[in-house]
Structure 1
């Protein structure tokens, strides 16, 4: 798992594709709400934002025009690394998910295998993974490899072996744990999956629902980074809903400091991931 870093990259995933606004009024679903959330989370210590968007009726969408406007607005309003989800909702067709990269994000998610998602199935067959990966390389977008289970880590290693390193040369992963159908949100899952990652890879971990705190603490102790946000967590403590996304980032920052690690700056995040700086058109 390597040396424990001195800084923690905090990723915020503020919206997701599963929760209805009516069930979580603080969920940012409009562009204005998303930009305001991004600003607050950047101030609280986030370095990267993982973005799902909604349409005018607050339903998940992969509309390219809306995605492009979102990327532009986030770049104008913050310095955060902008990462678009290529997962969308479980019902989105592959061609729409591939098209996400045409919105010119800094980064994108790339899920390394199919997984049961509650009563649904999140489809990520091998040929789609390869096509998406090759497109990230061609468009100079840095992928974040989303790993929901042990088999996904094996698929990641196979992908890198066959297709080479991602744009920028850095491998960064996110262990998404606690999804019904995937690996459980436990210390054992964090440690086992982290040990299977390619040598030199950096990684964050996401604990869904009740696994948020156990996964965060395990990740910090094992040398990983953190992803938090209302995409994955709607309850701050038993019986107490999350106030907003910034509250979750604030807690992640405090946990990082307790672990004697400071929240990573945005520029630190850009350097760690070797993001192409689309603000100026030159590599970081």
Structure 2
């Protein structure tokens, strides 16, 4: 089972003291996670003030640091539209500046939420830049939008993301999305994960179905049953045991 570690998301140190923010912290944390079973790294690079950013200088610094610490491990970033203050055009223009970066400093992949405005245009841009796309599908409507977009067949994997859903409702929503993707003929690897209360039910469901999954402080700051965890690598160990 592929486990992608999501190192930080929008979390801050007040959310958990071990949230990595700087390139050096991201690199050290990623290396610790890869050592215990993570096969890919997802992160939200930050600027000097600790804010999420898509600026090429900060993207390159974070990617280069993690890639050096985890040679051979794919490294990806978020492109959430909130990072550009909700402006999809500003996001597109900022991401287009990644073309000025050496290929070695560009991420291997980037997640793009299908339900956000500008999904198709941004996905096309990333593919032109040589950055693989992970479309984030949160609903059956998103599944239909992805199928209609024309980019699904060129995506790295499909992220089935269960967001803002109670734990007891998460499996049924995940099943509906997975089924709809199949019905629509959307092929390719699926990665199933949840956030907050839905996190561990989705890791368990992914293991049972033989799908890739994601775990890390972006998704949850605790283990199954609410047990405290010290860091991202502890979360990866717990997920790896579920998939063993």
TM superposition score normalised by structure 1: 0.74
Is 1:53 aligned with 2:55?
no
Structure 1 stretch displaced more, 183-192 or 65-74? 183-192
Aligned length: 231
Q: Deviations over 1:186-211 (max 9, x none)?
A: 21122221122245321111111121
**Match among 1, 4, 13 for residue 6 of structure 2:** 13
- The structure-2 alpha-carbon separation of the partners of 1:183 and 1:212, relative to structure 1 and needing over 3 Å to count, comes to closer
Partner of 1:192: 176
Structural mapping, 1:177-256, within 5 Å: 177-179=162-164, 186-197=170-181, 198-238=185-225, 240-256=227-243
TM-superposed CA distance for 1:71, in Å, is 1.2
CA shift, 1:230, in A, is 0.5
Higher normalized helix content (fraction of residues): 2
Within a 5 Å distance, the mapping from 1:80-91 to structure 2 comes to 80-87=73-80, 89=82, 91=85
* Per-residue Cα deviation, 1:123-155 (whole angstroms, up to 9, x for no partner): x12xx1121121122122210110111211111
Closer/same/farther in 2, CA of residues 184 and 49 from structure 1, 3 Å limit:
farther
Note if contact 1:149-1:183 (Cα within 8 Å) is conserved in structure 2: no
After superposition, the Cα gap between the structure-2 partners of 1:183 and 1:236, relative to the gap in structure 1 and judged at 3 Å, is closer
Q: CA RMSD in A?
A: 2.3
How far apart, in 1, do the equivalents of 2:41 and 2:148 lie?
27
Give the match for residue 158 of structure 2: 173
Unaligned runs of 5+ in 2: none
In 2 relative to 1, CA 231–189 (structure 1 residues): closer, same or farther, beyond 3 Å?
A: same
Map of 1:144-183 to 2, 5 A cutoff? 144-160=134-150, 163=151, 165-166=153-154, 171-179=156-164
| Higher percent of residues as strand | 1
Mapped to 1, the partners of 2:173 and 2:125 lie a distance apart of: 30
Match 2:120 to one of 114, 125, 130: 130
Extract unaligned runs of 5+ from structure 1.
1-7, 114-123, 258-284
2: CA distance between counterparts of 1:51 and 1:107? 11
Closer, same or farther: CA 158–46 of 1 in aligned 2, 3 Å: same
* TM-score normalized by the length of structure 2: 0.86
Q: 1:67 to 1:84 in 2, by over 3 A?
A: same
Higher relative contact order at CA 8 Å, sep ≥6: structure 1 or structure 2?
1
String of CA shifts for 1:236-277, please: whole Å, max 9, x gaps: 2445333111111111111110xxxxxxxxxxxxxxxxxxxx
Post-superposition, which runs of at least 4 consecutive aligned residues in structure 1 deviate over 3 A?
Answer: 182-185, 237-240
SS of 2:82's equivalent? coil
Report the equivalent of 1:267: none
Aligned to 1:66: 58
SS at structure 2 position matched to 1:243: coil
Q: What's the offset of the Cα at 1:164? A: 6.7
The answer to whether the aligner puts 1:100 opposite 2:67 as a matched pair is no
